[in-house]
A and B are shown apart, each in its own frame.
Chain A
Amino acid sequence: MAKWGMVIDLDKCVGCQACLVACKEENNVPHGSPEEQKSRRDIFWHKMIAVTSGKYPHVRVEVIPMPCMQCDHPPCVTVCPAKATFKREDGIVVQYFRRCIGCKYCMVACPYGARSFNYKVQETKPYHRQDDPPDRKSWEPWPFPTRTQGVVEKCTFCFHRIDQGLKEGKKIGIEVVPACVESCPSQARIFGDLEDPQSPVSRILASRASFRLREDLHTLPKVIYLSRS
């Protein structure tokens, strides 16, 4: 079984946030309003954090794109009282919305703040893209057509793309990648199987210095960053 992972090359990342927009588009994530932004209730599956270091005038701001870290030891999974979040065999941590009771324990347990909560009934209409055929049955398998108030949600590594790709016998990581990887204009993101030593992710990890966020917590994230040189 493959173990999907993502490598983000901070050296190549220009901070354009195309990944963030692509994620919102792909997964029908509500756009959020200025009020929601102010009260920090907007939903992001993929966010950008600005890490500042140093003191004025010698300040350095580093923009780090952050999807869900897809930990191999996910703290969110063990705390869920209703088994609404779990790790799939391929290592992707997913959220089962219909089971979620909205206790938010997973959000408290997640050290990365990768999870979002539906604080209100979302106004977003069922997913609709201009290029989709009018017949709903022939739409591609978008897994999140609507939103439910009061449940937690998070990034899924676009598992619907991966599952569909595997079914069609495509090469995951080359022909089929998550939306954020596809949209990256500087090709700073690479997706693939961490267990396969020949995959592009494994090769680049073998050749360059890398780090994961909050490694000390031993959550073993499968999103790995290549340091800025």
Chain B
Amino acid sequence: MDSEVLATKYDQVLKPMTRMGWPFWVTVFPLSILFLWSFFAFGWQYQWGLGETGMGHPMSWTLYLVNFVFFIGISHAGALVSAVLRITHARWGTPFGRAAEAVTVFALAAGPTNILFDLGRSSRFYWVPLHAQFKSPLIWDFTCIMTYFTVSVIFLYVLMIPDIGLLRDRFPGRKWLYKPLSLGWTGTKDQWRTISKTIGFLCVAVIPIAVSVHTVVSWVFGLQTQPMWFSTIFAPYFVTGAIFSGIATIIIVTIALRRIYHLEKYLTPYHFNNMGLLLLVFTLLWAYFTFAEHLTVAYAGGSHELDVLWSKLTGRYALLFWIMVLLCFVIPFSLLVFKRSPKFLLPASISVVIGMWLERFLIIIPSLAHPRLHYPRGAYMPSWVEWSMMAGLCAGFTLAFILFSKFFPVLSIWELEKEAQEN
């Protein structure tokens, strides 16, 4: 189809890219301040040492690691929603694709940054590849995440090329950006053949890579003797939780885009109903894994494991634990089982995302606080530095997405068009 006709047809999708009213500035300004503030916080910590955080023996891995696992978890959205739905030709996934892939890339940028915050000497990070010790789970973590990041960026980019070709013709003022990125896309038969082959390959490649990432992240913990980390189901438990929080994030992002950019025509209740079903399935899966994990410890766990378990169920972390159960299971389940319209999905997804953050917190912190030789036991409260970094990360993540939506369409126009033609 002619680019002019296409652009008129999908005007609703392209319009938000050029319009920047007061809501845009009102959102971007405070987020930028938060984001810049986190640089100050990091500088402070870099200068004065990790003693500025809430860490202390035996709490060596704290809020930064929680955020690391959390953001890496969110990044699994892209792999599942884009690749799996494409491979299975699930048409209803099309309008979620672009948002999911962008969430993946930005979450993958945010996640590993936490490791840099957590290092005592982050400036020496390059010593890991230089003096790599291949027995360390951390190095495989690094490898998997970098592979996933690279593949995700390529995935996001390749799927945008036909759209960038359209943008190049549509916005001559931004030619400096779109022309090199479009790689001379004109929509010839040859180009279509190449791109569909590439996409097919990437879809298959990205799934095992995504699964490997959270598997290895879980093994960073699961291969240690710390009580309640040493568990064989940690890998699938982490992957399930990751996809769970990822789907919830996509739903939040797309509902926000739908409301703000007026994309009701493309993101219909039908699409959200299906996405809600997927979230419901993962709610149940998560509950199943959590129950299995905790029951095994409660029934047959040694005294060290039971220490951790009781601190979660009835002790110091009980409040957080039961809030997590409420947010990750009770609220989303009772909402989604009845109705999966955007109005129900938004509170359910927000509750899942917060709940999954708590889950990561409750996996890492109580185990470290109750080591096998519990002298001393630990207590932990994050300091202002850690909260600032977390706020900065969330602000940076949101900012990146907002800026992305100003340069690229948040829905995949060529795929929508392809579907419209096929119908």
What is the minimal beta-carbon distance from B53 to any residue of chain A, in angstroms?
8
Contacting residues of chain B (90-137) with chain A, CB-CB under 8 angstroms: 115, 118-122, 124-125, 127-128, 130-133, 135-137
When the two chains form the complex, which single residue of B220, B226, B375 contacts A49, counting CB atoms closer than 8 Å? Answer: B375
* Cβ-based interface call for B56 (8 A): yes
* Cβ-based interface call for A127 (8 A): no
CA of A152 to CA of B373 in the docked complex: distance in angstroms?
19
Contacting residues of chain B (45-70) with chain A, CB-CB under 8 angstroms: 48-51, 55-61
A contact residues vs B (CB 8 Å cutoff): 36, 39-41, 47, 49-51, 75, 78-84, 99-105, 107-109, 111-113, 116-121, 148-152, 213-214, 217
Per the CB 8 Å criterion, the residue count for chain B at the interface is 42
A111-B120 contact in complex given A81-B133, A99-B127, A121-B49, C-beta closer than 8 Å: no
A120 close to B131 (CB less than 8 A): no
B49 close to A108 (CB less than 8 A): no
When the two chains form the complex, which single residue of B125, B131, B142, B371 contacts A111, counting CB atoms closer than 8 Å? Answer: B371
A101-B121 contact in complex given A50-B375, A111-B225, C-beta closer than 8 Å: yes
Across the interface, which residues of B come within 8 angstroms of A41, CB to CB?
A: 51, 55-57
Pairs across A and B, CB under 8 Å, 14 listed: A47-B375, A79-B135, A82-B133, A102-B122, A102-B124, A104-B120, A107-B58, A108-B61, A109-B225, A111-B225, A111-B226, A117-B55, A150-B50, A213-B373
Q: Which of B48, B119, B120, B133 has the most CB of A within 10 A?
A: B120
Across the interface, which residues of B come within 8 angstroms of A82, CB to CB?
A: 127-128, 130-133
A217 close to B372 (CB less than 8 A): yes
* Cβ-based interface call for B378 (8 A): yes
A104 close to B61 (CB less than 8 A): yes
Contacting residues of chain B (329-368) with chain A, CB-CB under 8 angstroms: 368
* Cβ-based interface call for B27 (8 A): no
B224 close to A108 (CB less than 8 A): yes
- For residue B220, which residue of chain A has the nearest CB? A105
B224 close to A79 (CB less than 8 A): yes
* Cβ-based interface call for B139 (8 A): yes
Across the interface, which residues of B come within 8 angstroms of A51, CB to CB?
A: 375
B137 close to A79 (CB less than 8 A): yes
What is the minimal beta-carbon distance from B405 to any residue of chain A, in angstroms?
35
Across the interface, which residues of B come within 8 angstroms of A148, CB to CB?
A: 121
CA of A103 to CA of B350 in the docked complex: distance in angstroms?
32
Instruction: State the 10 A-B residue pairs at the shortest beta-carbon distance, nearest first.
Output: A102-B120, A150-B120, A119-B51, A40-B56, A49-B375, A120-B49, A104-B60, A81-B138, A120-B51, A150-B121
Across the interface, which residues of A come within 8 angstroms of B130, CB to CB?
A: 82
A105-B49 contact in complex given A40-B378, A82-B133, A83-B131, C-beta closer than 8 Å: no
* Cβ-based interface call for B376 (8 A): yes
What is the minimal beta-carbon distance from A65 to any residue of chain B, in angstroms?
12
A102 close to B224 (CB less than 8 A): no
B120 close to A117 (CB less than 8 A): yes
A103-B115 contact in complex given A83-B131, A150-B121, C-beta closer than 8 Å: yes
Across the interface, which residues of B come within 8 angstroms of A119, CB to CB?
A: 49-51, 55-56
Across the interface, which residues of A come within 8 angstroms of B224, CB to CB?
A: 75, 79, 108-109
A81 close to B132 (CB less than 8 A): yes
- Apart from A82-B130, A102-B124, A117-B55, what 10 extra A-B contacts exist at CB < 8 Å? A78-B136, A79-B138, A83-B131, A100-B121, A102-B119, A104-B60, A107-B58, A108-B61, A113-B371, A118-B120
Across the interface, which residues of B come within 8 angstroms of A101, CB to CB?
A: 119-122, 124-125, 127-128
